[in-house]
């Protein structure tokens, strides 16, 4: 889905269903493609795709009723917001520890549950926030600063 | 070929089961899905994986593997090491990735394969 | 070595992407866990996996993986193959184990792709 947002930003909204392993990950692949279509640099689209994928699979595996991934693209930023309505994370610090996972055995056998999901999300975001409460759900906010296109393809170290 | 030889040749760190390094390694097995290890690994295989879940020790014992070689550098949790000591399953550690470790172990165990 | 040579080395078959069989396979990463794949650094790499969950091709797409080698005779389903086809990601399928696949490719000069360490390096 794609809809115009305020301030000239483009907004992409994807709903993710709980337990839908068959389609899990498709929204993220689509997000990456949509971002590329909006002129986002391949490296930035890749980072956003990784964040979205980990978040999407978290919604599939853990969220009671699935959730929503919202991506807003402006000239300087890609903002990704992931929201669900529960169950919520008991201990956020523990969830952020690389290798820690509460994935059920069926998810592990599919290759999930390495305990790297939130770590991967954090590593690909320039700014990351997570809020979670048992009962009310989890909200993750990520921001990627878009690299500027220049001839060398490198990211400028200073900004005008 | 013993675990001790392989530890030396691949420059591995022994993080559990140092008393069992004279065990013979008959082959290698790579993979991270526990059910697949149970289904396909052969007794005596050294198992290369990035899995650090505590169940790896039980799986290695049930499948009668010679040991576990953890790729990717990070040691497993203390509980995993304790279980490995208790069950007599050596855990070896390397900073190298699974592809490289499998490549180098294969070269040692199956020299001349092309 | 190129994709065609890799497929022959592994007694495999190219399930999709046979028109791209001359692409160079010089780096590889072997893993069944998807989160670990997602920690790969941005390099032109080939993915070796025995994981045939529908997520594998999607992850390969997001990461710009150049080819996927499915090992252990695990064959992805037709919708995954056709999805890879539309994306232009070649798929090789082999009955060899992951261990043997890595061993043979390594012996023929394919080198590991780096990934981000699982945690901060020991200080």
Residues in chain B: 114
Contact B28, B102 (CB under 8 A): yes
Q: What are the tens digits of pLDDT across the range A71-109? A: 999 999 999 999 999 899 999 999 998 888 888 888 887
Q: What are the tens digits of pLDDT across the range A102-137? A: 888 888 878 887 788 999 999 999 999 999 999 999
Higher pLDDT, A106 or B68: B68
> CB distance B103–C102 less than 8 Å?
yes
Residue range B91-96: mean pLDDT, rounded:
96
Contact B25, B3 (CB under 8 A): yes
> CB distance C42–A114 less than 8 Å?
no
Q: How high is the pLDDT of residue A7? A: 57
Q: What are the tens digits of pLDDT across the range B1-48? A: 999 999 999 999 999 999 999 999 999 999 999 889 999 999 999 999
Q: How high is the pLDDT of residue C117? A: 53
Backbone angles phi, psi at C53, to 5 degrees: -65, 155
- A8 Cα to chain B: minimum distance (Å): 43
- A112 Cα to chain B: minimum distance (Å): 10
Q: Given a cut of 90, is residue B112 above it in pLDDT?
A: no
> CB distance C35–A21 less than 8 Å?
no
Most C CBs within 10 A among A16, A110, A112, A154, hence the mutation to make, goes to: A110
Nearest CA among A22, A105, A89 for reference residue A56? A22
Residues of C in contact with A57 (CB under 8 A): 34, 55
pTM, two decimal places = 0.89
Q: What are the tens digits of pLDDT across the range B94-106? A: 999 999 999 999 9
Q: Which position has the token pair 């001349």?
A: B112
Residues in chain C: 123
Q: How high is the pLDDT of residue C32? A: 93
Please list, residue by residue across C44-61, b when 16 or more beta carbons sit within 10 angstroms of its beta carbon and e when fewer do: ebbbbbbbbbbbbbbbbb
Distance CA C65, CA C49 (A): 12
Q: What is the mean pLDDT of chain A?
A: 88
* Tokens, residue A80: 């990704």
Neighbour subunits, C (≥3 Cβ pairs < 8 A): A, B
Q: Which chain C residue shows the shortest CA-CA distance from A97?
A: C119
ipTM associated with this complex: 0.96
Query: CA of C57: how far to CAs of A26, A70, A130, B59, C26, in Å?
Result: 10, 23, 28, 28, 20
Q: Each residue's pLDDT tens digit in chain C (123 positions)?
A: 999 999 999 999 999 998 899 999 999 999 998 878 888 876 789 999 999 999 999 999 999 999 999 999 999 999 999 999 999 999 999 999 999 999 999 999 999 987 765 443 332
H helix runs in chain A, sequence order: 26-37, 42-61, 92-95, 105-109, 117-124
Residues of C in contact with B28 (CB under 8 A): 99, 103
């Amino acid at each position: 889905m794609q809809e115009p947002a305020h301030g000239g930003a483009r907004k992409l909204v994807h709903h993710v269903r709980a337990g839908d392993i068959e389609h899990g990950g498709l929204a993220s692949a689509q997000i990456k493609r949509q971002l590329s279509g909006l002129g986002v640099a391949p490296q930035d689209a890749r980072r956003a795709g990784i964040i979205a994928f980990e978040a999407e699979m978290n919604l599939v595996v853990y969220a009671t009723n699935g959730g929503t991934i919202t991506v807003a693209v402006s000239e300087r930023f890609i903002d990704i917001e992931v929201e669900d309505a529960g169950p919520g994370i008991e201990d956020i610090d523990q969830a952020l520890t690389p290798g820690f996972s509460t994935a059920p055995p069926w998810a592990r056998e599919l290759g999930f549950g390495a305990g790297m999901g939130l770590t991967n999300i954090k590593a690909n975001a320039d700014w990351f926030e997570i809020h979670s409460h048992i009962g009310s759900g989890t909200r993750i906010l990520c921001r990627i600063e878009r690299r500027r296109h220049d001839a060398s393809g490198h990211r400028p170290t200073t900004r005008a | 070929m013993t675990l001790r030889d392989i530890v030396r040749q691949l420059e591995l760190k022994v993080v559990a089961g140092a008393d069992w390094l004279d065990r013979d390694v008959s082959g290698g097995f790579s993979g991270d899905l526990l059910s697949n290890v149970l289904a396909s690994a052969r007794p005596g295989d050294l198992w290369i994986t990035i899995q650090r879940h505590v169940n790896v020790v039980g799986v290695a014992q049930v499948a009668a593997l010679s040991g576990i070689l953890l790729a990717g550098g990070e040691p497993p949790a203390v509980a995993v090491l304790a279980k490995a000591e208790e069950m007599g399953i050596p855990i070896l550690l390397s900073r190298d990735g699974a592809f490289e470790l499998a490549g180098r172990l294969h070269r040692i165990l199956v020299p001349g394969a092309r | 070595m190129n994709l065609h040579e890799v497929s022959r080395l592994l007694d495999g078959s190219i399930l999709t992407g046979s028109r791209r069989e001359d692409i160079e396979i010089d780096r590889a990463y072997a893993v069944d866990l998807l989160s670990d794949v997602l920690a790969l650094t941005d390099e032109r790499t080939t993915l070796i996996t025995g994981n045939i969950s529908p997520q594998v091709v999607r992850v390969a797409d997001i990461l710009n993986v150049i080819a996927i080698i499915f090992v252990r005779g695990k064959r992805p389903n037709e919708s995954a193959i056709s999805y890879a086809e539309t994306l232009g990601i070649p798929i090789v399928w082999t009955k060899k184990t992951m261990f043997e696949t890595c061993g043979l490719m390594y012996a023929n000069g394919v080198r590991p792709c780096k990934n981000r360490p699982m945690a901060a390096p020991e200080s």
